[in-house]
Amino acid sequence: MYRIIATWKFALSAVTMGAKVLSSGGRALDAAEAGIRLTESDPDIDCVGLGGFLNRDGELELDAAVMDGDTLKTGAVIGIKNYEHPITVARAVMEKTMHNILVGRGAESFAREIGIESRPMLDMITPGARKLWEEKRAEKAAASGHDTIGFLALDSHGSIVSATSTSGMGMKLPGRSGDSPIIGSGFYAESGVGAASATGWGEDIMRTCMSFRMTEMIRAGADPQKAADTAVITACETMIRHGTKPREMAVICLDADGRIGAACNHKGFAYVTACEGGEPTTVDVEPIIDKDTL
């Protein structure tokens, strides 16, 4: 038995690839990396890898992470440039170093040292991404625009993995990290329990540690749908109680039996899921709470 759930409609090709790996008995880690690499290489996906949103200075800085639920090892890169596949660098951080996170130039030197293929940043900035950046710069727009691929996989060996990849928020300050490469915020996994991932305003997701929160609820016996709903409602209510208006947040989670959950506080969120014996399916998610009426 295997199960995959990943954030946003654009995850369809990643999930289809992941299902191919898992249906032939492959490992969750390989499924997550192979799937996310496809998303990273797709120039039409404007928030991950090649073609992603640019930072304030017109640069493409990418974040990615992976957590192996069997060992609780994690690897992440923050603000990496000149690499098309930050997920592969993140996996190498996990598997080949004693560290959890490498940042910026350090992540790039490490990738170079171990022979991961680089690609000039300017080659990965699409005309559409450059045009959007020029418009936002002309408008003096604040940082905005986001999305992440969050990818959760349970394989037939019982291993669970959570992985993410994103360009982060458009017009972000150079060096800014969102939640996606931060353990417990944008991703978490523990085999035998479950996994979770989040997408949306990283600053809000980090404040409320959403992925660890969902995994802990599953550990305590919650159905994944209940864990997802409760995580979004609790995060919004907690922020309101402390005088901060929540912005867009959406989450997915998975338990060790392959049951899934998803929730959001805004319209437009969707996920893609696949399991044994079925085609990958896209599912629209109705907000469990509306951030605009809080």
Beta bridge partners of 282: 272
Q: Which of the residues 7, 39, 74, 148 is marked catalytic?
A: 148
**What dihedral angle (degrees, nearest 10) is formed by the CA atoms of 215, 86, 204, 58?**
-170
Look at the alpha carbons of 182, 190, 110, 83 in this order and tell me if their dihedral is positive or negative.
negative
- The residue among 84 and 147 lying less far from ligand SD4, judged by its C-beta, is 147
Nearest to 185 by CA among 259, 70, 93, 78: 78
Cβ atoms of residues 196 and 188 within 8 Å:
yes
Q: Which residue's entry shows tokens 């709903």? A: 229
Q: Which residues of this chain interact with ligand SD4, rule CB under 6 A?
A: 146-148, 166, 168-169, 178-180, 199-202, 205
Which residues pair with residue 260 across a beta bridge? 254
Strand 160-166 to strand 73-80: parallel, antiparallel, or no bridges (unpaired)? unpaired
User: Toward ligand SD4, which CB reaches closer, 199 or 211?
Assistant: 199
Amino acid at 201: W
User: In the complex with ligand SD4, which residue's Cβ is closer, 88 or 164?
Assistant: 164
234 is known as an active-site residue: no
In whole angstroms, the minimum distance from the beta carbon of 235 to ligand SD4 comes to: 13
Q: Measured in whole angstroms, how far is the alpha carbon of residue 242 from the centre of its chain?
A: 27
Contacts of 187 (CB under 8 A, 6+ apart): 65, 66, 67, 74, 150, 162, 163, 164, 180, 195, 196, 197, 198, 211
CB of 67 to ligand SD4, least distance (A): 16
Q: How far is the CB of 199 from ligand SD4 (least distance, A)?
A: 3
Least Å from the CB of residue 96 to ligand SD4: 25
Residues with Cβ within 8 Å of residue 91, at least 6 apart in sequence: 29, 33, 66, 75
C-beta of 2 vs 187, nearer to ligand SD4: 187
From the CB of 257, what's the least distance to ligand SD4, in Å?
27
- Between residues 37 and 247, which has the closer beta carbon with respect to ligand SD4? 247
Query: What amino acid positions are annotated as catalytic residues?
Result: 148
